[in-house]
């Protein structure tokens, strides 16, 4: 909570991003945004949706404000360059039924120990995408 400045900085970095239609901010904080909060002008509308309850799953709800097929869900503290976002979008357009994003992780069932292996180190082997910065279909 109380991460307004982090959010404003993240929104500012979206200015000039090609293909950007609108930003929908899912407000999970129990208290509403400050009245004097200065939302940055990023060239597209910024729509705030106040969530009924605090849940990370709120990002996956099909809000009416979303008018496009593609949704880029980004944590307020994620730092993505425009070229990374554009690349992710282009990959998603080829695989619209998949979650495409950053960062990736590797997991596998270890048959010797009967448990799961999980690797967050950079590797060429990936089996999942975390949703802190990911494209998915509305």
Helical ranges in the chain per DSSP H: 4-12, 82-94
Task: Identify the CATH number of the domain in which residue 20 sits.
Answer: 3.90.550.10
Q: Total domain count for the chain? A: 1
8 occurs within a structural domain: yes
109 occurs within a structural domain: no
Q: Is the dihedral of CA 102, 6, 37, 14 positive or negative?
A: negative
Q: Are 24 and 44 in contact (CB under 8 A)?
A: no
106 occurs within a structural domain: no
21 occurs within a structural domain: yes
Query: Can you read off the two tokens belonging to residue 46?
Result: 């910024």
118 occurs within a structural domain: no
Digits of tens for pLDDT over the chain (138 positions)?
Answer: 568 889 999 999 999 999 999 999 999 988 888 888 889 999 999 999 999 999 999 999 999 999 999 999 999 888 999 999 999 999 999 999 999 998 888 888 989 988 998 888 877 788 888 889 999 999
pLDDT confidence of residue 45: 96
Q: Are 59 and 26 in contact (CB under 8 A)?
A: yes
119 occurs within a structural domain: no
pLDDT confidence of residue 1: 53
How many angstroms separate the Cα of 65 from the Cα of each of 25, 87, 97, 126, 127?
Answer: 10, 24, 21, 32, 31
**Domain region containing 20:** 4-101+129-137
pLDDT confidence of residue 63: 94
Pairing of strands 115-119, 23-27: unpaired
3-state SS of 107-138? EEEECCCCEEEEECCCCCCCCEEEEEEEEEEC
pLDDT confidence of residue 131: 87
């Amino acid at each position: 909570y109380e991460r307004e400045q982090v959010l404003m900085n993240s929104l500012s970095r979206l200015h000039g991003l090609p293909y950007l239609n609108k930003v929908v901010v899912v407000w999970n904080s129990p208290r509403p945004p400050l009245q004097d909060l200065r939302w940055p002008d990023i060239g597209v509308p910024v729509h705030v949706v106040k969530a009924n309850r605090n849940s990370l799953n709120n990002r996956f709800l099909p809000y009416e404000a979303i008018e496009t097929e593609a949704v880029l869900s980004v944590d307020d503290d994620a730092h993505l360059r425009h070229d990374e976002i554009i690349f992710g979008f282009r990959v998603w357009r080829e695989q619209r039924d998949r979650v495409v994003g950053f960062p990736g992780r590797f997991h596998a069932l270890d048959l010797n120990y009967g448990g799961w292996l999980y690797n967050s180190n950079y590797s060429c082997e990936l089996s999942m995408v975390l949703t802190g910065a990911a494209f998915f279909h509305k």
